[in-house]
Amino acid sequence: MQYSPKIQRLVSLFSRLPGVGEKTAQRYLFYLLTSDPEIARDLGRELGTLHDELRPCDKCGNIAETTTEATSKSEPVICSICRDPRRDPHLLCVVGRVHDLLSIERAGAMRGRYFVLGRLLSPLEGIGPEDLPLERLAARIEQDGVREIIVATPPSVDGEATALLLKRELASMAVTMTRIASGVPHGGDLEYADPITMGRAIAGRRSL
Amino acid sequence: MQYSPKIQRLVSLFSRLPGVGEKTAQRYLFYLLTSDPEIARDLGRELGTLHDELRPCDKCGNIAETTTEATSKSEPVICSICRDPRRDPHLLCVVGRVHDLLSIERAGAMRGRYFVLGRLLSPLEGIGPEDLPLERLAARIEQDGVREIIVATPPSVDGEATALLLKRELASMAVTMTRIASGVPHGGDLEYADPITMGRAIAGRRSL
């Protein structure tokens, strides 16, 4: 027996999601088929309007809700953080992905604003300096009169390379550049820390 | 920062899928947000019409595509297996779930038709004999003049209990009842077979 075209289409669409293979896609589909039809209908409706209601913020790249006026594509879409007057416009935190921004926000540790690069420098994946929005970042620094940039790319090979690139590219601008600390995480066991993390924890030590 | 209501709604809907928690739901959402908008839109459209285009077969419980005429809810929906005249109507395979039916179809090992119970007897989950469609099964046997029933519930506690229940309930009908074989699977290593499987493999031995 062949699956019906409808099933094949849905399985192939679910398989596009990260970490979802054909088996998992089928499992999702059969769950939805045997559950309350409202679940599939609601999910369908919300997904259908996803990109109309949420768009990258034109200023920082964070996810922004479109207002009714802004849904006409000409209006710029500005996220709630960029609109918040209590945020320090002179402090800019540069992150790789929106996920990282959300993680920093959850910690409530940043009182400035953000700039989402969208990707990291990655020679292995063929992503070079020309693929990063460096000009937009420089324009943002000028425009907002940014005084400090916190480079919050991950402490990985690509993240460190991106941080070094930013340091070099923005060297001519009158802006202080800092890097988030890397070391043994809170609650982490020294016994299980990898040598690189442990090396960073020692090198980045602070006076008590 | 709070997630927007749109994000919250989608995360909670994705979290309804089996094995999907909040983190995975967010991952799916951010993937869709940062990918080609067509993916979210296609998935949304297909899910929105899922239950209109696919419904349980009124005869066997398999997934059936609704024809244009049958979308008015009064028309019965009959699946491709029940409609196939080359299938032996006198041989009926009883399975627990549609997944099991599909697995048997993939093996191409059944030339008869199916009956999907939808659930198994499970005292632990409070599913008793009255929750199984035994009357509909008996009616189907009468109607199609079924001569053999292959009970293909899984070789688990619930599956075996269901098989025994079917044997008892259908004892008065003029129908042969068989049970799928249970033993060491193809390619399985005897060394790692659990004692129950090994016991079944020995008890179910056949002459060479």
**What DSSP assignment string belongs to B80-105?**
HHHH-TTSEEEEEEEESSHHHHHHHH
Please check the confidence at residue B1 and state whether its pLDDT lies above 70: no
pLDDT tens-digit map of B106-132: 888 889 999 999 999 998 899 999 999
Q: What is the ipTM of this complex?
A: 0.73
Q: Which residues of B touch A30 (CB under 8 A)?
A: 97-99
Average pLDDT over residues A148-158: 92
Say whether B48 and A49 touch across the interface (CB within 8 A). no
Question: Which residue is closest to B13 within chain A, CA to CA?
Answer: A43
Say whether B63 and A13 touch across the interface (CB within 8 A). no
Q: How far is CA A198 from CA A156, A202, A204, in A?
A: 14, 6, 10
B-contacting residues in A 104-133 (Cβ below 8 Å) = 105-106, 118
Q: How far is CA B133 from CA A75, B118, B129, B137, in A?
A: 58, 8, 9, 6
Percentage, residues of chain A above pLDDT 70: 95
Say whether B6 and A34 touch across the interface (CB within 8 A). no
Average pLDDT of chain A, as a whole number:
89
In this complex, the residue of A28, A44, A65 whose CB is nearest that of residue B48 is: A44
Q: Which residues of B touch A98 (CB under 8 A)?
A: 30, 33-34
Please check the confidence at residue A179 and state whether its pLDDT lies above 70: yes
Q: Mind telling me how many Å the CA of A7 is from chain B's nearest CA? A: 9
The C-alpha atoms of residue A77 and residue B179 are separated, in whole angstroms, by: 63
Give the per-residue pLDDT at A2.
62
Average pLDDT of chain B, as a whole number:
89
The C-alpha atoms of residue A163 and residue A121 are separated, in whole angstroms, by: 9
Put simply, whether A157 touches B (Cβ < 8 Å) is no
- Bridge partners (DSSP) of residue A54 are A65
The C-alpha atoms of residue B183 and residue A19 are separated, in whole angstroms, by: 33
* A185 band by pLDDT with thresholds 50, 70 and 90: confident
Say whether A47 and B31 touch across the interface (CB within 8 A). no
B205: enclosing H helix or E strand: none
Structure tokens at B161: 């209990």
In this complex, the residue of B34, B47, B63 whose CB is nearest that of residue A47 is: B47
Say whether B45 and A48 touch across the interface (CB within 8 A). yes
pLDDT tens-digit map of A9-34: 999 999 999 999 999 999 999 899 88
Average pLDDT over residues A54-80: 79
Put simply, whether A86 touches B (Cβ < 8 Å) is no
* A35 band by pLDDT with thresholds 50, 70 and 90: confident
In this complex, the residue of A13, A19, A26 whose CB is nearest that of residue B43 is: A13
Please check the confidence at residue B68 and state whether its pLDDT lies above 60: no
3-class secondary structure, B188: coil
Average pLDDT over residues A111-137: 93
AA identity, residue A123 = P
Please check the confidence at residue B4 and state whether its pLDDT lies above 90: no
Give the per-residue pLDDT at B110.
87
Average pLDDT over residues A158-171: 94
Give the per-residue pLDDT at A201.
82
Give the per-residue pLDDT at A205.
80
pLDDT tens-digit map of B14-67: 999 999 999 999 999 989 988 899 999 999 999 999 999 998 899 999 988 886
Give the per-residue pLDDT at A29.
92
AA identity, residue A31 = Y
The C-alpha atoms of residue B199 and residue A126 are separated, in whole angstroms, by: 57
Say whether B81 and A1 touch across the interface (CB within 8 A). yes
Say whether B33 and A13 touch across the interface (CB within 8 A). no
Put simply, whether A83 touches B (Cβ < 8 Å) is no
- Which of A123-137, B149-163, B184-198 is predicted least confidently? B184-198
CA angle B5, A34, B137 (to 5 degrees): 165
The C-alpha atoms of residue B87 and residue B73 are separated, in whole angstroms, by: 27
Put simply, whether A32 touches B (Cβ < 8 Å) is yes
Other beta carbons less than 10 A from residue B72's beta carbon:
8
Is the Cβ–Cβ distance between A39 and B16 less than 8 Å? yes
AA identity, residue B60 = C
Say whether B41 and A47 touch across the interface (CB within 8 A). yes
Say whether B16 and A35 touch across the interface (CB within 8 A). yes
Give the per-residue pLDDT at B126.
92
Structure tokens at B121: 């007897």
Higher pLDDT, B109 or A208: B109
* B184 band by pLDDT with thresholds 50, 70 and 90: confident
Say whether A45 and B44 touch across the interface (CB within 8 A). yes
Encode B78-95: b = buried (16+ Cβ within 10 Å), e = exposed.
Answer: bbebbeeeebebebbbbb
End-to-end Cα separation, chain A, in angstroms: 70
Give the per-residue pLDDT at B103.
85
Say whether B32 and A48 touch across the interface (CB within 8 A). no
Put simply, whether B37 touches A (Cβ < 8 Å) is yes
* A74 band by pLDDT with thresholds 50, 70 and 90: low
